[in-house]
Amino acid sequence: MMEGLLRQPEWRIIDQSSIGPHYGAVESFGYDDTLCASVGAGKAPATARTWVHQHTIVLGIQDTKLPFLQDGIQFLNEQGYQAVVRNSGGLAVVLDAGVLNISLILPEAEKGIDINRGYDTMWELIQSMFADFPQTIEAREIVGSYCPGSYDLSINGKKFAGISQRRLRKGVAVQIYLCVSGSGAKRAELVHEFYERAKRNAQTKFIYPEVVPDVMASLSELYGREFSISDIMVRLLTQLKQYGEKLYAGQLNEYELELLPGYVQRIVERNEPFKKMQKEAGS
């Protein structure tokens, strides 16, 4: 059943994993919304987009309600990170040169894609990408991780990836961040300190995670083998080739190029208050 969603007549690959320094995460979220609208409308085939961003903390909507958010953002800025608010659920995650993001943009069938089926599809893909290793990749919540959820991907209780979904106009984007290299614990320490400063001991309606750095790791740490982003790209393309009758590298088509500015603008507007906050934090 899961393989059913991976098996598509065509897979278009939009690889933006090497242009990270030239565009920001705000544009990235605009891209995924554009692709959702396009694939959902039947104007483009199923698409896999890969992307990497430098020194960025992506916050969820709930994070923007932290009582001392400006203090948390100031800390991130001092560490050389910028904060961006995404348009889908979840909480704070770290993006840097060792983190690969994969978005699978799929058309919703008439009955729609059940939310768990979307998550299971990504889990299935990641399992198949690392099938040559004996370790079991589990999907369950890892308590103490940042942005915890029921589809945290882990090996031996250490989380290396989180999955989210975005649904828009009959298109579904199933998104994952994979901690490929570097220290998972160091990334977690950054998020732990952000919450310490942005929440302090205040009582909040929403329960924010108590981040425990030891429960996070990168694939390189877990497999005892140094992976690069391009190593993982090869594994991804090899698997998608097995699922798609046709696999090709592509860019946005004309329809998508017209949609993109509007979707990016919406996310820019959502981020305006936080841009201002970061300027104030830096002054």
Please list the active-site residues: 147
- From 50, 172, 163, select the one nearest 107 (Cα to Cα): 172
Residue with tokens 């961040």: 177
CA 140 to chain CA mean position, Å = 17
Dist CA 236 CA 230 (whole Å): 10
CA 15 to chain CA mean position, Å = 15
- From 79, 104, 67, 30, select the one nearest 206 (Cα to Cα): 67
Residue with tokens 């933006």: 16
Give the DSSP letter of residue 215.
Answer: G
What token pair was written down for 145? 């991780």
Q: Is the dihedral of CA 35, 37, 39, 44 positive or negative?
A: negative
Residue 95 and residue 146 in contact, taking contact as beta carbons nearer than 8 Å: no
What token pair was written down for 95? 């993006």
